[in-house]
Amino acid sequence: MSDQPASAGSTSGSTKVTADAAATETADTTGTNTTRSEPQSGLDRFFHISERGSSVGTEIRGGVVTFFAMAYIVLLNPLIIGTGEDVNGTILGVPQVAAATALVAGVMCILFGVVANYPFGIAAGLGLNTLVAVTLVGTEGLTWAEAMGLVVIDGIVIVILAVSGFRTAVFRAIPASMKAAIGVGIGLFIAMIGFVDAGFVRRIPDAAMTTVPVQLGNGGSIATWPTVVFILGLFICGFMVTRKIPGGLFIGIVLNTIIALIVEAVVGAGSSAEDPSGWSLAVPSLPESLGGVPDLSIVGNIDLIGAFARVGGITATLLVFTLVLANFFDAMGTMTALGRQAGLNDERGELPNMKKALVVEGCGAIAGGLGSASSATVYVDSSAGIADGARTGLANIVTGLLFLAAMFFTPLYEMVPIEAAAPVLVIVGALMMMQITEIDWDKFHIALPSFLTIVVMPFTYSIANGIGVGFIAFTLMSLFAGKAREIHWIMWLISALFVVFFTVDPILAALA
């Protein structure tokens, strides 16, 4: 599964994997063989465009569609990691994160297209950036530089594991039910974040002495203008997905922002810091300029060893382990699904040359950390471009070039309130819930671990917690069901590591 959003342009009808991609060698009605399409140019030969049943024009168009399907991350990522303070009071800044996000996405899309030759866009992962902002910086008290340093280390580990082939081995060792549960859990977690950030769901102050920790809206009412904008945006984005409009989520954010600008100009809701019924983070207003030289001041601002000094070697190592786990179950499942849609998978249902693709994808975490944009990973939104005919890395290069161009328009992103972008998170959560049908709920030794994985993520606001609880429960429940021999040794290993992760505080106390 992927912690990344599915595009409004993803259509199952586009998974036409048949003779187009196999325009290679068939028999015509006269009984003579039609030979493999000859490359029309060096570009065609390098990317195998004709061989995969595509054309240069189709690849360019598919790359543009993928960009518009993914472009919302340039708007959304800054709102997740660009607005919060770290332990030193440092804020990365919305325009800085927007520029860095576009830069990393552009470079990695181009690199993936050239090296892996697949039309799979890469950008900052939604679940991963939330893990960095909420867990590493918000809970563990790391600085942004220290958190991004751990992201770089995570990327290095991912690359090593991909080169060794161990990453693929782990992916194959995880039962399909747990992969689906992880996807559903991340979907609920992302939706929960959307509801909370938009103010649709709010925490009741502890002083209320209530048994209910959360409430609907402000005092049980959703009659505030920012919440109205969120609800309108939710249905706008829902319409885009229902109608399968390419780039619909991006278009939805733009329309939601326009509505927010109009609402603020008319009613003047202001900031929630002054009035609980105001906007949660950014108050929508027109920027002083539409574009200019991108502010890349946060690029390279990392501290590789600071986290180990701040929280200790064991805790920092466990945080890296958490990042690795979050990355682990994202890219491989996403690439397999996209490869299936594009008709590129082999007879075993696996993407050819997956190791090479995984190595480049691992470099996305390194690049994301170095750019202070959080870990970059493969996006399932690329299905929009694939639906439009993209089959090769040329489409990815087009997508990457458009991301690089987007760097010069980052002032536009400051006017986007979280209430305009949060509907996308809820839509993504709904799309990711579809995987729940892949879980066999009739077998309780499968149902309980899956259920725990799904609910622990949003309830504890942690992807890693959900994965860890689910893995431990799966190994134990399988043991209770007399199926110990069916459990892969890697599952035992990961479960044991999570036991260490959950007991790190008493372990650290004992070592003190």
pLDDT reported for residue 155? 94
Query: Is 239's pLDDT higher than 60?
Result: yes
How far does CA 426 lie from the centroid of its chain? 13
Q: Which residue has the higher pLDDT, 247 or 110?
A: 110
pLDDT reported for residue 509? 61
Alpha helices (H) in 122-175, listed in sequence order: 126-130, 144-164, 166-173
264 and 280 in contact (C-beta within 8 Å)? no
Q: What percent of the chain has pLDDT over 70?
A: 86
Q: How many CB atoms lie within 10 A of CB 110?
A: 20
Q: Which residue has the higher pLDDT, 241 or 501?
A: 241
pLDDT reported for residue 144? 95
**Residue range 163-187: mean pLDDT, rounded:** 80
- pTM of the predicted model as reported, rounded to 2 decimal places: 0.70
Measure the CA–CA gap between 104 and 440, rounded to whole angstroms.
39
- pLDDT tens profile 477-499: 999 999 988 888 989 988 988 88
pLDDT reported for residue 186? 75
Q: Which residue has the higher pLDDT, 212 or 62?
A: 62
pLDDT reported for residue 349? 63
Alpha helices (H) in 371-503, listed in sequence order: 383-387, 393-406, 418-432, 444-460, 463-480, 489-502
pLDDT reported for residue 341? 77
Query: Is 454's pLDDT higher than 80?
Result: yes
Q: Which residue has the higher pLDDT, 35 or 275?
A: 275
pLDDT reported for residue 26? 30
Residue identified by tokens 């209910």 is 212
CB burial class (10 A; 0-12, 13-18, 19+) of residue 241? buried
Closest CA to 340 of 89, 9, 118: 118
Mean confidence (pLDDT) of the chain: 82
- pLDDT tens profile 50-108: 988 888 988 998 888 788 778 888 888 998 899 888 999 999 998 899 999 999 999 99
- pLDDT tens profile 280-327: 767 888 877 777 889 999 999 999 999 999 988 878 887 887 788 777
Measure the CA–CA gap between 306 and 310, rounded to whole angstroms.
6
Structural tokens at position 317: 């190592």
392 and 117 in contact (C-beta within 8 Å)? yes
**Residue range 120-140: mean pLDDT, rounded:** 87
Q: How many CB atoms lie within 10 A of CB 470?
A: 27
pLDDT reported for residue 2? 40
